[in-house]
Amino acid sequence: MTTKATAFTQEASTPERFPEFPPRDDMQNTNHLHLRSVLTSLTIHFTHRPNTLIHSEMPVSPTLGMQHGVRIPDLMVVFDCDIEDAYRIDGYAIDRQGKPPDFVLEVASKTTGVVDYTAKRGDYERFGIGEYWRFDATGGDYHDAALAADRLVEGAYQPIRIDMTEDGVLRGYSDALGLYLCWEQGALRFYDPESQSYLLKHDEEAERADEEAAARLQAEAEVRRLRERLDLLGEID
């Protein structure tokens, strides 16, 4: 396969920061990323990898000076990057960072669904982004599929295989993250094959913390009971 040439030039007049973009007019990111603590769970999962940028709706472009061609992915993950520079210029400039993002994901909405799997796919491929994922909670009303993804191979996107489990969960493996992305009853989940468990949502984290606290109290009560019994036996002797 022929490698596509990707070249970007820095414009003479370079602004100091990315321009401000109007906020989205739908609740898709809130419903499927923020309320489900996707960013938090990924941040916790990759806490052992320094210089990892995990962000929602941060502008990304080949260069800061471009007036057109800026995309704002719903979710972006970049390993080994200059996080401070991204926050300093309010966006991710590929030429300044020296590498494109490793992973981006778009959540389907009624107004942007078609653009996600057509124009954005072409732009992300041209930017050199390693993996591009698309999630549609409706099951495919807004995107061309409930869950779809592409991996950059020799400069061109190739589809990532999506399977369905016996429980009716759609899932595909992300080489970039080392995780499975899952479509489960309209929810986006990340599954860790190493721990064989999902990355936890806020309510699941709270439930696990409650269970651990209850188990700790029960263990402490058992230790007290055993000590009291030993003390009693000592008195009898």
Report pLDDT digits (tens) over 1-43.
Answer: 444 444 444 444 555 899 888 777 676 666 668 676 899 999 9
Global pTM value: 0.78
* Higher-confidence position of 113 and 19: 113
Average pLDDT of the residues in 73-88: 97
pLDDT at residue 225 tops 50: yes
* Higher-confidence position of 211 and 158: 158
**Contact indicator for 53, 73 with CB cutoff of 8 Å:** no
Q: How many helices (H) and strands (E) does the chain have?
A: 7, 13
Confidence category of residue 173, pLDDT binned at 50, 70, 90? very high
How high is the pLDDT of residue 169? 96
**Residue percentage of the chain with pLDDT more than 90:** 65
The pLDDT mean for the chain works out to: 84
Burial profile 204-229: b = 16 or more Cβ within 10 angstroms, e = fewer:
eeeeeeeeeeeeeeeeeeeeeeeeee
Average pLDDT of the residues in 166-185: 97
Average pLDDT of the residues in 49-73: 91
Average pLDDT of the residues in 125-150: 97
Q: How far is CA 185 from CA 138, 142, 169, 176, 221, in A?
A: 9, 16, 7, 24, 41
Q: How far is CA 31 from CA 28, 36, 133, 145, 223, in A?
A: 5, 7, 17, 19, 44
**Rounded-to-integer distance, Cα 197 and Cα 55, Å:** 23
